[in-house]
C-alpha cells in the first residue's frame, strides 16, 4: 500500500470477469501521483485549496473520463432497452463528491506528513 493512502471508491466494470466492482480511483497511478504532488504543494503553501481541488479534478478527468475501461451502464433494474441506459464513468461518479475527496486528501496527507516528521524527530 502506498503512503499516504488515498481512497475513494466508485463502481466500475471488470470486462474480464464481467462483474461490477468497487474501484478506488487512486489505484490509477497517474491520479495518485498528481494528487500527491498537488497535496505537497498545498501543504508547502504554493497553491490554494481551490487550486488543489482543480488539480485533483483535472487528474481524475484526464484519466477516468469517457474511457471505456472506466465506464458502466446505469438504468432501471431489468431494463432490456440499452437506449434507456446512461453511460457513467468514474469521473462522473467522483465529481459530486469532489469536496469530500479533497477533504480526505488533506486529512490523510496531513497525517502522513505529521507521522513522517514524528519518526524523523525520534531518530
pLDDT by residue (tens digit) across 16-30? 898 999 999 999 999
Residue 18 gets the label, from left (phi > 0), alpha (psi -120 to 50) or beta, of left
Residue 105 in domain:
yes
Domains identified in the chain, total number? 1
Q: By residue range, what is the domain housing residue 47?
A: 9-122
Residue 3 in domain:
no
pLDDT by residue (tens digit) across 92-102? 999 999 999 99
Band of residue 115 on the pLDDT scale cut at 50, 70, 90 = confident
Give the pLDDT confidence score for residue 98 in this predicted structure. Answer: 98
Handedness of CA 117, 26, 99, 50 (dihedral sign): positive
Amino acid at each position: 500500500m502506498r503512503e499516504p493512502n488515498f481512497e475513494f471508491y466508485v463502481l466500475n466494470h471488470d470486462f474480464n470477469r464481467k462483474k461490477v466492482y468497487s474501484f478506488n480511483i487512486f489505484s490509477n497511478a497517474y491520479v495518485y501521483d498528481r494528487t500527491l504532488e498537488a497535496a505537497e504543494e498545498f501543504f508547502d503553501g504554493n497553491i490554494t485549496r481551490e487550486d488543489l481541488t482543480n488539480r485533483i479534478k483535472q487528474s481524475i478527468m484526464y484519466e477516468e473520463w469517457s474511457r471505456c475501461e472506466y465506464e458502466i451502464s446505469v438504468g432501471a433494474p431489468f431494463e432490456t432497452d440499452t437506449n434507456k441506459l446512461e453511460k457513467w464513468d468514474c469521473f462522473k461518479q467522483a465529481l459530486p463528491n469532489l469536496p469530500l475527496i479533497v477533504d480526505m486528501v488533506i486529512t490523510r496527507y496531513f497525517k502522513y506528513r505529521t507521522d513522517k516528521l514524528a519518526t524523523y524527530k525520534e531518530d
